[in-house]
Amino acid sequence: SRDRLHVLFSIDTQQTDLPPPGTHPGVERDDQDYALAWTRSYGRGRVVYCTIGHSPQDFMTPRILEFYLHALQFIMGDLDGTTTPSNRLTPAVAARESLGWRLALTAQEEQPLSVLEMIDRARQSGLAHIQPSSVQRVGGTDTVHFDSRLSDEQLEQIRLAMDDAGVSLPALTYVQIPDDMEGRRRVFEFCRKLGVETLIGAASPDALDDLEQLCDQYDIRLAIMAADSDRANEAGHVQRILEICRGRSARIGAYADVDRWLRAGLDPVEHLRKLGNRLITVRLAPIPPSSVRNEDVTANIHRGDLQALLSELHRRGVPPTVLGLADASDATQQTDKICETIDAIDAIVDRIIHKGRVVNQSR
For the segment 251-260, what is each residue's pLDDT rounded down to a tens digit?
Answer: 999 999 998 8
Q: Which domains does the chain have, with CATH numbers?
A: 6-75 (no CATH), 90-359 (3.20.20.150)
Give the chain as a 3 state SS string.
CCCCCEEEEECCCCCCCCCCCCCCCCCCCCCCCCEEEEEEEECCEEEEEECCCCCHHHHHCHHHHHHHHHHHHHHCCCCCCCCCCHHHCCHHHHHHHHCCCCEEEECCCCCCCCHHHHHHHHHHHCCCEEECECCCEEECCEEEECCCCCCHHHHHHHHHHHHHHCCECCEEECCCCCCCHHHHHHHHHHHHHCCCCEEEECCCHHHHHHHHHHHHHHCCEEEECCCHHHCCCHHHHHHHHHHHHCCCCCCEEEEEEHHHHHHCCCCHHHHHHHHHHHEEEEECCCCCCHHHHCCCHHHHHHHHHHHHHHHHHHHHCCCCCCEEECCCCCCCCCHHHHHHHHHHHHHHHHHHHHHHHHHHHHC
For the segment 346-362, what is each residue's pLDDT rounded down to a tens digit?
Answer: 999 999 998 876 555 55
pLDDT (0 to 100) of residue 357: 67
For the segment 15-62, what is each residue's pLDDT rounded down to a tens digit?
Answer: 998 888 888 888 888 888 999 999 999 889 999 999 998 899 999 999
